[in-house]
Amino acid sequence: MALVLILQLLTLWPLCHTDSAPSVPPASYPKPWLGAQPATVVTPGVNVTLRCRAPQPAWRFALFKSGETDPLLLREVSSELAEFFLEEVTPAQGGSYHCCYGKPDWAPSVWSQPSDALELLVTDSSSSDYTRENLVRLGLAGLVLISLGVLVAFDCRSQNHAPAGVRP
């Protein structure tokens, strides 16, 4: 019975464990914002900086990767902005990230509402595959247009010729 309760608690436990501190009203601590430099779609080997911006000065920041309950990176900075450096990223580092911030008077396990998720895509195939696919699509669309044009041209011709042939 106790085991079932514990399991239920575990599944209900949110990613950022805000419920462990009822003294923290989540509404007055809005979610932070997470952004990526130079971009969210990069080639492997690029140094990516993830910036977490809190709506008010915080004390510590945590970067989470989706599917993992423990913070991936922690930063203790008493400001509104924290930077997380992902050096020379690999495709495995691609995925969904979000960040949270903590205030000095909160317990260490207490985090703000999570930011919106940021999707990082690390691929060397950025985009050239997409370009090729798009070129193939454009080519096919062009072929269809040309075929239609040819059909219409033939149709016009046969219509122009038909009355001429009927005339005496």
Contact predicate 93/86, CB 8 Å: yes
87 forms part of the interface with ligand NAG (CB under 6 A): yes
**49 or 131: whose CB is closer to ligand NAG?**
49
Report the residue number, 16 or 73, with the smaller CB distance to ligand NAG.
Answer: 73
Residue nearest to ligand NAG (CB): 47
Name the residue nearer to ligand NAG (CB basis): 20 or 37: 37
**26, 30, 45, 57: which one contacts ligand NAG (CB under 6 A)?**
45
Q: Give the Cα separation of 107 and 104 in Å (integer).
A: 8
Scanning residues 88 to 107, which ones bind ligand NAG (CB under 6 A)?
88
From residue 143, how far is each of 116, 134, 155 by CA, in Å? 43, 14, 18
Tokens describing residue 167? 């005339």
Give the residue among 36, 56, 35 at the shortest CA–CA distance from 101: 56
3-state secondary structure of 58: coil
Collapsed DSSP state (helix, strand, coil) of residue 33: strand
CB closer to ligand NAG out of 76 and 87: 87
Binding site for ligand NAG (CB under 6 A): 45, 47, 87-88
